[in-house]
Homo-oligomer: A and B are copies of this chain.
Amino acid sequence: MQKGKGMPMRAREQVIPAYYRLADDIKQKIESGELKPGDGLPTEESLGEARGISRMTVRQGLSLLLEAGLIETIKGKGSFVSRPCLNRLVIDWEIGVQLNGQEYQYRLLEVKVVRSEGEIGQILGPAPEQKIIQIKRVLLQQDQPVAIEERYLPYIKGKPLLENHLEYADFPEMIAKHQECLPVRNDMDISVALLTAEQAQQLGELPQSPAMLVRSIIYSSTGKALGVSRLVGHQNHLHLRATSYPYR
């Protein structure tokens, strides 16, 4: 723990970079209330002079706070503490997490090639001759079925779906493997639905029971839909948790 000659002060300080320490100090002051939303920060130059670091290094530190949404900067005026935005929320979509964090298993129900029609056909392809792969799986917790997932993706010659993908891959991963285009966007729609007779039977519920429906559409960078997934979850087992954007 001693400094010693092999470890000069200079080096010790560099274990944590100067720009990071600056950002951390200011973050502390904001979270402790010493700096309140709307308050102005010292100028970049004076922040650097106070710590003996150059302005570029100060800016590197401030850019961290900017990314995190802790401050805003206005050219010609200065940097100011911003009010945290609590209306932008992040969902980490890992199905295991959403199922109350408990263990779960998959069981493959069905894989078949269907015609492009109905709602899914509308999304996936205007060409009516387009063939679509449909994959149905059931999610189990302690051998109890808790949700049904249907995935739809265009049938592409020479891009077979490997068995282990069918069993284990999450949807964006499966699409990345099966498609020629790179998937770059995922749009989700979360709503309440009533179980169809078939779904109810597979879940061991009564038809018309309420359930959460999560529909997900994967797009390429050109805006082409590469796949659709529909997850129908038992109301008592499927929750979605979201939290406001980092503000770390």
Contact = CB atoms under 8 A, between A and B. Distances in A.
10 contacts: A31-B184, A86-B184, A87-B94, A87-B170, A89-B93, A90-B90, A190-B239, A191-B238, A192-B211, A242-B242
Interface in A62-105: 63, 67, 83-84, 86-94
Contacts of A36: 182
A156 interface: no
Contacts of A83: 176
B241 A212 contact: no
Interface string A213-248: 000001001000000000000010011111111010
A31 B221 contact: yes
A183 interface: yes
Given A190-B242, A212-B191, A91 B88 contact: yes
Given A239-B190, A241-B188, A93 B84 contact: no
Interface of A: 31-33, 36-37, 56, 63, 67, 83-84, 86-94, 170, 172, 176, 181-194, 210-212, 218, 221, 235, 238-245, 247
Given A185-B247, A221-B31, A240 B88 contact: no
What 9 A-B pairs come out closest when comparing CB atoms?
A: A210-B210, A86-B172, A86-B186, A192-B235, A190-B240, A186-B244, A31-B221, A188-B242, A89-B91
A86 B191 contact: no
B189 A212 contact: no
A239 B56 CA distance: 45
A56 B55 CA distance: 14
Given A185-B243, A194-B210, 17 more contacts: A31-B182, A84-B185, A86-B183, A86-B186, A87-B92, A87-B186, A88-B92, A90-B91, A184-B247, A187-B241, A187-B243, A190-B240, A190-B241, A191-B239, A192-B211, A210-B210, A240-B240
A18 to B, nearest CB: 16
Contact of A239 (B37, B189, B235): B189
A124 to B, nearest CB: 17
B87 A172 contact: yes
A247 B182 CA distance: 13
Nearest to A87: B93
Given A83-B176, A210-B210, A89 B192 contact: no
Contacts of A89: 90-91, 93, 186, 188
